[in-house]
Amino acid sequence: MASSRPFAFKVSMAAAAIGIALLSATALRAAEPKQGGSLSISLESDLPTLDPLGFASFNDREAGLILYDTLLDIDPKGNVVPNIAEKIEASPDVMSFKLTLRSGVTFSDGTAYDAAAVVKNFQRIMDPKNRCRCVSDLSTIDKIEATGPLEVSIKMKTPSAHFPATLADVAGMVVSPTAVEKYGADFGNHGVGAGPFKLKEWQRGAQVVFDRNPTYWRKPAHLDEVVLRPMPDEQTRYASLKAGNLDIVMNAAARDVLDAQQQKRFQVLNPGSLATNFVQINMGAPDVSDIRVRQALAYSLDRVAYNKAINRGLYKIANTPFGTGLFPHEQVDGYPSYDLAKAKKLVQDYGKPIKIKLSINAAPVSTLAAQALQQMWKKAGIETEIIPLEQVQLVRAAATRDYQVMLYRWAGGADPDKNVHQFFHSKGTVNRVNFNNPEMDKLLDAGRATTDQAERLKIYRQVNNLLAKELPYLFLTYFDNISLVNPAVKGLTPIPDGLLRLHSVWKDK
C-alpha cells in the first residue's frame, strides 16, 4: 500500500441547506454540558432488528448509530471524515484501501475493537447466506485482511470511489464478534457494538431503552439513557413533544415544522437533504411494465399542487434521486413535467384499462398523499386502489418486490453511488423496481471508477437522464430530515444524512 494516499471525499453541501438550520451548533456548545438525564426520541415504526444485517430504514440506521457508531462519519458540510477508523488511505486508482483503527477501542462487552474484529464483520456482511441489505456497497471487495493489529487492508475487484462513504453508513457499523458467537441467530435481539450507548431493554412496539456505554471510545456520553419510542401517527408525536413526553420528533410533518417555526417553542433542526420521496414502480408488474403507463403516471402528477396539499409547500420538488447536499442534484434533462393532456393521450394509446395498486405506509399523512395521487391519476383515466401496510410490512414488500406501485422514500448516503447503484444496477441487492438496463449498469460502474468530481457529475447526469426516460421512480419532493427538538436538549449538530449523533448531547435540566 505504499502508493496509497489519504482519501478526501466531499459531498458539496449547498450553503443554503445549511443556512436553513435554525439550530446553531456554536450556540448549542456555548453552555457547560450537564451530566445525566434521559432523552426520548420518536420513531415512525418499531425496529425489526438490532442487527445491521437487517437494517433498511432511517429508523434502523438511527438505532445503529446509537449502538455501533461507524468506522467513518460525515461532518456538517458533508465530508466523509475519520471516526473509529482514524485514517483511510486509497490507492490512486481506488483499487485498494487501508484503514487504520484507533487504539484502545472496545465493544461494550469488553471485546477488543481491532483489525480482526473488523475483518470478521466484513466477512459476515459479505456472506451471501446472511443476506445483508448493504452487501451491494461491498460488492467490489476482492480481499480483506488484517495487516496489523489496528490495520485493515482491502483490495478491490474494480475501482471503488464510493467505498469510503459506505463506511459512514450501515457497512461501517461493526458488531462484537464475541456477541455474534454467543447469541448466534438471536443476535438481532441483543445488538452489541461500540457506540455511545448499549441496549438495556426492548419492549416490542413500545420502546427501546439504551444505557450509557461507560467504555465509549471518545468519552462516556453525558446522558444516562436514550429511549426510542415507535409512534406511527404524526399528530401523536407532535402532541407528545408539546406535552413534554418526548424530547425529539424525527422526520417531523410539514405542518408541525411550520407550527414550530411560528410558535418558536422548539428548536428546528434541518440539515438539508441527501435524497428523495418518490413513487417506486415494480417494472415487472402488470400494466406498469409498459413505458406508456409509467409516462402517463408521471405526466398526470401535478407535483406543485401535491407539495402544497401534503407538505404545505415546505419541500423542494425533486427531479433526481440526489438531494440538495449531493453534487448531481437537479442535473437532469427532460424529467416529465405536469401535462394532463399528454397523460390522457398515453392512456388512450395503451388501449386497455389501467388499474394501479398503490402500497403505502398506513400512517395518516401517507394516506392523504396516496389519495392526492389517486385523484390526479384518475383525471388521466387511471384507477388506483390504495393498500395500507405497517412500516415493517411495507419495507418487506419492497424488498421482495411484492407490490405494483409504492409510495416510498430513501434518506440517502454521503456518496451519490449510495442513492443509485444498489437500487438500479441489475445486480443491486435492493433493486426493488426490477430495473435491468445494460446502459445503466455501465454508467453506475463508471461512477465507482473515478474520484474526479467533474467526470462523476457527467456520469450521474446521464444516470438522471436515463431514470427520467425509463421512470422506475416518479420523484415527488426532496427528503428533508427535519427534527423538532425540546429547547432543553443541547449539543446536537446538523448532519446532512439527518441522523442524530448523540455522544455529545446533553439536557439542561
Q: What is the mean pLDDT of residues 200-214?
A: 96
Give the pLDDT confidence score for residue 443 in this predicted structure. 98
Residue 481: what pLDDT? 85
Q: What band does 133 get if pLDDT is binned at 50, 70 and 90?
A: confident
DSSP string, 9-74: EE----HHHHHH--S-HHHHTSSPP----EEEEEESS--S-SSGGG--SHHHHHHHHHHH--SEEE
Predicted pLDDT at 7: 45
Beta bridge partners of 361: 389
Contact 297, 378 (CB under 8 A): no
How confident is the model over 272-280, as a mean pLDDT?
A: 92
Average of per-residue pLDDT across 229-253: 94
Of 92, 173, 100, residue with least CA distance to 138: 173
Does residue 178 carry a pLDDT above 50? yes
Lowest mean pLDDT among 33-42, 237-246, 351-360, 407-416: 407-416
Query: Whole-angstrom Cα distance, residue 410 to residue 133?
Result: 14
pLDDT at residue number 245: 96
Q: pLDDT at position 10, please?
A: 41
The per-residue pLDDT for 221 is 97
At residue 5, does pLDDT exceed 80?
A: no
Q: Which of 368, 238, 255, 349 is nearest to 299 (CA)?
A: 349
Identify the residue whose cell numbers are 410490512. 393
C-alpha cell at 476: 415527488
- The mean pLDDT value for 153-158 works out to 97
pLDDT at 56: 82
Q: Using the predicted structure, report yes or no on whether residue 28 has a pLDDT greater than 60.
A: no
- The pLDDT > 70 percentage for the chain reads 94
Q: Does the structure show a pLDDT above 80 at 24?
A: no
Whole-number Å distance between alpha carbons of 262 and 270: 15
pLDDT exceeds cutoff 70 at 234: yes
- Residue 15: pLDDT above 70? no
Least confident of 123-137, 173-187, 247-261, 446-460: 123-137
Q: What is the pLDDT of residue 311?
A: 93
Q: Return the CATH number of the domain spanning residue range 5-268+482-507.
A: 3.40.190.10
Confidence label for 196 from pLDDT (cuts 50, 70 and 90): very high
* Residue-averaged pLDDT of the chain: 92
pLDDT (mean) for 284-310 = 97
Residues of the chain with CATH 3.10.105.10: 273-479
Give the whole-number percent of the chain exceeding pLDDT 90: 82
Q: DSSP code of 323?
A: -
pLDDT tier for residue 84 given thresholds of 50, 70 and 90: very high
pLDDT tens digits, 422-462: 999 999 988 999 999 999 999 999 999 999 999 999 999 99
User: Any idea which residue has 473509529 for its cell?
Assistant: 84
Q: State how far the Cα of 454 lies from the Cα of 437, in Å rounded to an integer.
A: 24
Sign of CA dihedral 426, 431, 435, 441: negative
Write down the pTM of the prediction. Answer: 0.85
pLDDT score of 6: 46
**Residue 50: predicted pLDDT:** 97
The answer to whether 508 and 31 are in contact (CB under 8 A) is yes
Q: What is the mean pLDDT of residues 215-232?
A: 96
Could you report the per-residue pLDDT of 350-406, keeping only the tens digit for each?
999 999 999 999 988 899 999 999 999 999 999 999 999 998 899 899 999 999 999
Residues of the chain with CATH 3.40.190.10: 5-268+482-507
Residues 6 or more apart from 340 whose CB is under 8 A from it?
Answer: 299, 300, 302, 379, 380
pLDDT given at position 142: 96
Report the distance separating Cα 459 and Cα 443, nearest Å: 6
Confidence of residue 137 (pLDDT cuts 50, 70, 90): confident
Q: Tell whether the model's pLDDT for residue 301 goes beyond 90.
A: yes
Spell out the CATH class of 273-479. Answer: alpha beta
With beta carbons less than 8 A apart as the criterion, state whether 275 and 479 touch.
yes
